[in-house]
Amino acid sequence: MAMDILTAIIPTIIDYTIRPVARQVGYIIFYKSNLEDLRTKLENFDLVKQRMKHEVDEVGRKVNQEVEADVQKWQSDAEETTLEAKALLHDEGPAKTKCLIICPNLIYYHRCSRKSTKLMEKIEVHETKKKEFSSVSYKAPVEDISALASDKYMALESRISMVKHIIMELKKPDINRIGVYGLGGVGKTTLAKEVYREAIKEKLFDDVVIILNVKEKEDNEKIQKEITEKLGMDIDESENMGKRANLLWARIKERKTLVILDDVLERINFEAVGLVGVPHCKLLLTSRERNVLLYDMHTQKDFQLGFLTESESWNLFEKMAGNVVKDNRILKEATQLAKKCGGLPVLVVAVASALRESSLEEWKDALRSFKRFDKKELNEKAYLALKWSYEQLEDQELKQLFLLCGSCSNYLSDLLKYSMGLGLIKNVETVEKARNSLNVMVKKLKNSGVLLDSYDDRTVRMHDLVRDVAVQIASDDQKAFSRAYGDEVKEWPTDDFLKKCTRMSLRGCKIPRLPGVPWECPELKLLILSENYKGDSQEIPSKFFEGMKELKVLDVTEFHIASLPPSLQSLKHLHTLCLDRCEFADITLVGQLTNLRILSLVMSKFKELPREIGELTRLQLLDLTGCSQLVLISPGVISSLTRLEDLRMGMKSFKQWEGEGLVDGRRSNASVSELKHLPHLSALDIHIPDANLLPTNLFSDKLERYTILVGDCWEYPNIFATSSNMLKLKLTRRNQFDQGIKLLVKKCEQLYLDGVEIVNIISYLFDSEAVRQLKHLHIQNNDEVKYVINFINWSYSHNAFSNLESLALENLVSLESVCYGQLIGEPFRKLKSLTLQNLPKLIGFSSKGKQLTTATESDEIVTKDEVGGPPRLFNNGEVLISNLTTLIVHQCDSLRFLFSSSMAKCLGQLKHLTISKCQALQMVYDTSSTTQVNGFECPNLDSVDIDSCDSLKNVFPPSVAKDLKQLSRLKVKNCDLLEEIVEKKEGPETAYEEFEFPKVTFLEFHNLPQLGSFYPGLHISNWPSLNILKFTKCGDVEILPAEFLTDQDKLELGYPRSTKQPFFLIEKDKSLLNLEYLVLDENTDILYGPLLAQLLRKLKVIGFATSHPKSDDFFENLQNIENLRVFSAPWKELIVHNHQGSSSGEIHEVKTLPRVKGLWLGNMPELIHLGKENSQPGGPVFPNLEFLCLEKCGRLENLASTLISFRNITALTIWSCHGLQYLIPYSVAKDLQQLRELDVRYCERMVEIVASNGDDSENEITYSCLKHLQLSGLPSLQGFCTGNCTFKVPSLLSKDLIVKKCQLIQLKISPDGLLQSDPRPERLQIAEETDDVVKLSDAKENDRDQIPASYGINGKTIPETCVIWEGTDTYSKSCYACVDLLVFSGKSVICIWSLALFTTFSVLVVWEIMLV
């Protein structure tokens, strides 16, 4: 038994003991043989690798083959094994060393032999793996070279942004077809290529195919073939299109595929091609026509590719032009040429490339060519691309409208008048139908890419380059003569051209005098003359229109016409006459134009619409908008215009309407009742100042478009045409709310209500369901309304006010809540803007009931809602205003909070919050509910503006402050009790709070006397985008620390701090990275340190006060400053050097500040010099200064300075610098050749502006640019310059020469432009003789830095005077006999002189005593 067990276990013992030991010993014994075997194995393996390399190299020579990934990995692993083996075989050093001098190194033998065995095993594995490869390559699609970026490609922000948006859309599972449209040459192909590259880079698809220039493919079959080829499909050429479609469909049905088709001109049959019914296949199509994409290709998402921005255009131009544009001589021409290219990439590239190696003369010649658009001189591609878009317009109406937009006007109202006059809009008879057709046509032009999206609904937009092409086409095809707005017409066209000319458009041009001999223009249909030159207006010659018999549209704008030319009545075919912004005495002659359909007198100055206008019985549109001087419309004129459809009398136009009754049996002016005689009237703009003038049922249901104001409390909207119906009502009696007014209320979208009938009108809104179409509701001035909407007493429909976008309530002194009763549905689901002003009893937006309670401590009556607690504007989330973006609350004195926490969750779209004069408001967000203190959410808040809320203690709770990622503007002013911006979180602080404001660009804090900190707890705040910071009158809060907050500082925030923390606790490289504008008041001292040093390097504008004794520390870091303002600095010179660490007398030169344009120095009583000689050996610190202002610098001696170059100064202002006896020396005066404004005030000792140069020779200085000169409060001034220097001011008008309170001189300008001083000898003598009568102590000299109100005869202000000239007078009394002006100012003036002395002032005319 024992033997059996022993026999069984002995093999195991051997396996686990003897054999391993033998194997390890074998490594040592067979050391050399193992290395030799490895060497042999490695040689054979090198041959195997070489064979594999040949196969891989062969694949590399085939364009459609790629090496398999596992083959590439095999090569990499095999090479790694080879290098490892070679390293082992070459490392014989350790083998030669001995153990104990005589024994071989057995440890090394063992390790090396064992490793060689392992390497041989790895080689065998590699050889086996190699045999398993059936093929080393696979067939791969060839990369499309057409999609590769060219060397001319440049990544531009607008294009990068669009590519990102397209990629985002391609990632959406429900989007399969995307379109990009735009004009030819705008960069659609380049964009398509970039999308192709980005899709491959992000590996969004298994296959990406791009087909360029699809419009040149003759049919769908060619498109199909190219797609299959680029997918690498082997399809027999003999296969028909249907079979290929099936194969293509089978190829892509299980794969994610993107097909990009560029420049599609017409519909592609995707079913025939094989690209339908494939859920994973997506299409990106580009076209010049949006209609092709939208209606033929059925795209789900379209992008319009517009022109480049000006900066993008320049960047591309600069790259294409090369280093030549770095030449300053060429740079000016290059920048202008880049602008002329209009942002069209194809034109930018062509022009810049053509001028790449050109000389200055060639650049100038190219610029001259661009001054006039000539298709032969400009790049042919750009012109042809734009003209091609024009030719693709579907009909002549669109083409004619395009040309009108390009050469005549961008206002839809003008285009309507021109189009109707020319008969361009076919098959329409009414103005309303013509307007609708025009809007449809404009939309088509936008879809075609020749018009851009407008900023509003009153205008159209066209790119400048497209406009130039339109002008050129009109000139070529229609013999049109036109010039761009603002151009000067130097000469009129030739007689031959005028005979063929069909259109002439000179809008806003400076035009030469119109010829006295009439033009012969037999083909002329449209004439636009718009004078933009503000000089003397010219007359229109009496016979000017005689040769224009076929004229249909005449627009004469901004002319002063004493009388209309008689030849005007010869225009028998004239349909449209526009005399806008003209000034004339009489327009009677217009009554002769009996074929007129449209008469426009917009903003013209004339007083009467004569009875002859009533002869225009075919008139359809009369536009009197903005005719502010029109006070008389002959009775019966309006009622005679029986075919009138559109009457516009808005914007401060005629309001002198009379009632229906007669005075002495007749009327002297037009009556509102005349409108009843216009049966076709469908559009009306009118202001009726008194509701008592309204006849019964004036308005009918035919009125479709209107802006009607009734009452004297309304301002007319500052627009020229209404986009939606507007009605403003102030009714004084109940019966005025008649059926006609009710018809208007039913149709209006903007309703404004004032006066006693508000409740009845609102009730009618609900009864008639007119609330459904209302978009804007404004209610004001009523002392009875308690609720705007009473859901208890009024019948109403579900979701009332379902389309209301803005609600404004003003001066409703009894209003308690907007809504009263139980709300059903979402009545304010589209409300975007809410304005609440002067609602002193408002306790909430919605209320079911209220109660009054007495406060326990103060016996104060406090209004509560039915739930309890103080009044909140929004409470408990009952009113859902989820789309509210703007909230304005002003003078709502019962509100203590705006938002409850539950309501704040419904304000996710709120962007703009303005609160002012809410005296009871304690918090914006009610945080009294501890259970919901973190429930506030305002993630889209963009701007917050708070002013004059005296009870407000803070602005945000921490939860809101941490969520303000979109906030860009914060402004808090005049809040007496405000202690912090962010309320401190309740409970113990375990860690510091971190507030991030990534988008805040503007901060202003003003007059907050109790402000102590941004957040009173442990925190840091980061403001990376802050651009403008204003911090004034905010107590003694420290604004900026001297240093940035470090990680150690953050750790120490948890420990008690002995001093209060600064307002901004910020980290380096996380805050104030973009601050450019910093304004601090003179009471705020900033400490110089590392943080300020970094800020100064980036600022462009700074205003600050400092007690820092050295100024060079500041100026050293102002390299980007453009405007600098310094208050209350203790500097004696502008540059006070810091000599610390330097040898005695060594001057540290301040760097030049070439960007500084403006310099203000104020309240600097120690300042003596702006800069002495040799204070800056390297030249002026301010070489390009344009504006210099000094105020309250009492010891300043003069403005001479080596630190400032005066050559570029355009404005010089000096106030209250009492130490100045002269302003500038002669040497500086000569340099002020660019001076435009000189303003010197309240400098009591100033004797002359320019100091005499000391020689007897006469010198003349001409200030050719000076246009404003004011000298005020200079009682000692004896002349502009008392020496022989004369000053010529050819551009200074007498009205712009202002001299006040300069008792000793008068200044005037001679006819030849010389500035002449007229001294008054008697006053000068008195000043000299009495110089010591009133003496001021030097100790009080610096106290007189306020602007004095008046002056004494010797130019002194009397400080704290008690008695002057009491008793006898030591001076001759006769010296006062000629004084006619006497002014004193001072404090506590008790007695000035004795009565006997006073009697000597025998000719005194003016005597003024000012107690200050």
Contact 1226, 1198 (CB under 8 A): no
The answer to which of 661-665, 775-779, 1033-1037, 1118-1122 has the lowest mean pLDDT is: 661-665
Average pLDDT over residues 990-1014: 88
Q: Which residues contact 1371 (CB under 8 A, 6 or more apart)?
A: 1329, 1330, 1333
Q: Which pLDDT does position 240 carry in this prediction?
A: 82
| Residue 1188 in this model has a pLDDT that exceeds 90 | yes
Q: Which pLDDT does position 1144 carry in this prediction?
A: 41
Q: Which pLDDT does position 478 carry in this prediction?
A: 84
| Structure tokens given for 141 | 């699609």
Average pLDDT over residues 371-379: 46
Share of the chain above pLDDT 70, in %: 77
pLDDT digits (tens, 9 = 90+) for 4-52: 554 555 555 555 455 565 556 666 666 677 788 888 888 888 888 888 8
The answer to which of 278-287, 483-492, 514-523, 564-573 has the lowest mean pLDDT is: 483-492
The answer to which of 698-702, 845-849, 924-928, 1020-1024 has the lowest mean pLDDT is: 845-849
Residue 122 is inside which H or E element, if any?
A: helix 106-131
Q: Which pLDDT does position 1055 carry in this prediction?
A: 42
Q: Which pLDDT does position 139 carry in this prediction?
A: 67
Q: Which residues contact 463 (CB under 8 A, 6 or more apart)?
A: 306, 307, 342, 343, 344, 452
| Residue 1327 in this model has a pLDDT that exceeds 60 | no
Q: Which pLDDT does position 260 carry in this prediction?
A: 92
Residue 1173 pLDDT grade (very low, low, confident, very high; cuts 50, 70, 90): low
- Calculate the alpha carbon distances from 144 to 193, 215, 855 in Å: 10, 19, 81
* Cα–Cα distance, 988 to 679 (Å, whole number): 78
Average pLDDT over residues 928-935: 53
| Residue 594 in this model has a pLDDT that exceeds 60 | yes
Q: Compute φ and ψ for 1214, nearest 5 degrees.
A: -130, 120
* Cα–Cα distance, 160 to 305 (Å, whole number): 12
Q: Which residues contact 477 (CB under 8 A, 6 or more apart)?
A: none
Place of tokens 């001035």: 781
* Cα–Cα distance, 395 to 27 (Å, whole number): 96
Contact 792, 767 (CB under 8 A): no
Q: Which pLDDT does position 857 carry in this prediction?
A: 33
Contact 1166, 1189 (CB under 8 A): no
Residue 637 pLDDT grade (very low, low, confident, very high; cuts 50, 70, 90): very high
Residue 1029 is inside which H or E element, if any?
A: strand 1028-1032
DSSP string of 1201-1269, one letter each residue: -SSB--TT--EEEEES-TT-SEEE-HHHHTT-TT--EEEEE--TT--EEE---SSSS--EEE-TT--EE
Per residue, the 3-state secondary structure of 20-59, as one string, reads HHHHHHHHHHCHHHHHHHHHHHHHHHHHHHHHHHHHHHHH
Residue 401 pLDDT grade (very low, low, confident, very high; cuts 50, 70, 90): very high
Greater pLDDT, 68 or 22? 68
139-172 CB burial, b ≥16 within 10 A, e <16 = eeeeebeebeeeeeebebebbeebbeebbebbee
| Residue 1256 in this model has a pLDDT that exceeds 70 | no
Sign of CA dihedral 1216, 1217, 1219, 1221: negative
Cα–Cα nearest to 465, from 319, 288, 290, 307: 307
Residue 420 is inside which H or E element, if any?
A: helix 412-422
| Residue 459 in this model has a pLDDT that exceeds 50 | yes
Q: Which pLDDT does position 904 carry in this prediction?
A: 54
Greater pLDDT, 297 or 824? 297
| Residue 111 in this model has a pLDDT that exceeds 80 | no
Q: Compute φ and ψ for 1322, nearest 5 degrees.
A: -65, -40
pLDDT digits (tens, 9 = 90+) for 1111-1132: 776 777 777 888 988 888 888 8
| Structure tokens given for 1129 | 């600095």
* Cα–Cα distance, 144 to 208 (Å, whole number): 9
Contact 123, 81 (CB under 8 A): yes
* Cα–Cα distance, 622 to 637 (Å, whole number): 12
Q: Which pLDDT does position 765 carry in this prediction?
A: 83
* Average pLDDT over all residues of the chain: 79
Q: Which pLDDT does position 1334 carry in this prediction?
A: 35
| Residue 803 in this model has a pLDDT that exceeds 90 | no
Q: Which pairs count as long-range contacts for 603-611, CB under 8 Å and 24+ apart, including other chains? A: 603/627, 603/628, 603/651, 604/579, 604/580, 605/629, 606/630, 607/631, 607/632, 608/632, 608/633, 608/634, 609/633, 609/634, 609/637, 609/654, 610/586, 610/634, 610/637, 611/636, 611/637
The answer to which of 308-322, 536-550, 897-911, 949-963 has the lowest mean pLDDT is: 897-911
| Residue 1395 in this model has a pLDDT that exceeds 50 | no
Residue 87 pLDDT grade (very low, low, confident, very high; cuts 50, 70, 90): confident
DSSP string of 182-239, one letter each residue: --TTSSHHHHHHHHHHHHHHTT--SEEEEE--GGGS-SHHHHHHHHHHHTT----TTS
Contact 409, 507 (CB under 8 A): yes
DSSP string of 970-991, one letter each residue: EEEE--TT--BSBPPPSS---S
Contact 1035, 1011 (CB under 8 A): yes
The answer to which of 473-482, 625-634, 642-651 has the lowest mean pLDDT is: 473-482
Query: Quick one: how far is CA 1000 from the chain centroid?
Result: 15
DSSP string of 1283-1316, one letter each residue: SS-EEE-TT--GGGEEEES-TTEEEEE-TTSBEE
* Cα–Cα distance, 2 to 1153 (Å, whole number): 106
Q: Which pLDDT does position 1045 carry in this prediction?
A: 57
Residue 781 pLDDT grade (very low, low, confident, very high; cuts 50, 70, 90): very high
Contact 669, 635 (CB under 8 A): yes
Q: Which pLDDT does position 851 carry in this prediction?
A: 40
- Strand segments, DSSP code E, in 64-169 are 65-67, 98-99, 103-104, 137-139
Q: Which pLDDT does position 1043 carry in this prediction?
A: 64
Share of the chain above pLDDT 90, in %: 25
**Per 3-state DSSP, what percentage of the chain is helix, strand, and coil (rounded to 5)?**
30, 20, 50
Q: Please state, as a whole number, how many other Cβ atoms lie within 10 Å of the Cβ of residue 1346.
A: 11
Greater pLDDT, 771 or 369? 771
* Cα–Cα distance, 647 to 602 (Å, whole number): 12
Q: Which pLDDT does position 173 carry in this prediction?
A: 86
Sign of CA dihedral 401, 403, 406, 407: negative
Q: Which pLDDT does position 419 carry in this prediction?
A: 93
Residue 1190 pLDDT grade (very low, low, confident, very high; cuts 50, 70, 90): very high
| Residue 1085 in this model has a pLDDT that exceeds 50 | yes
Greater pLDDT, 1040 or 954? 954
DSSP string of 438-456, one letter each residue: HHHHHHHHHHTTSSBPPSS
Average pLDDT over residues 225-245: 81
| Structure tokens given for 1125 | 């303002």
Q: Which ranges constitute the DSSP H helices of 1157-1205?
A: none
- Calculate the alpha carbon distances from 132 to 127, 946, 1363 in Å: 9, 78, 122
Q: Compute φ and ψ for 608, nearest 5 degrees.
A: -135, 140
By residue count, the chain amounts to 1412
pTM: 0.68
Greater pLDDT, 929 or 1107? 1107
Q: Which pLDDT does position 1323 carry in this prediction?
A: 46
Q: Which pLDDT does position 973 carry in this prediction?
A: 95
Q: Please state, as a whole number, how many other Cβ atoms lie within 10 Å of the Cβ of residue 304.
A: 17
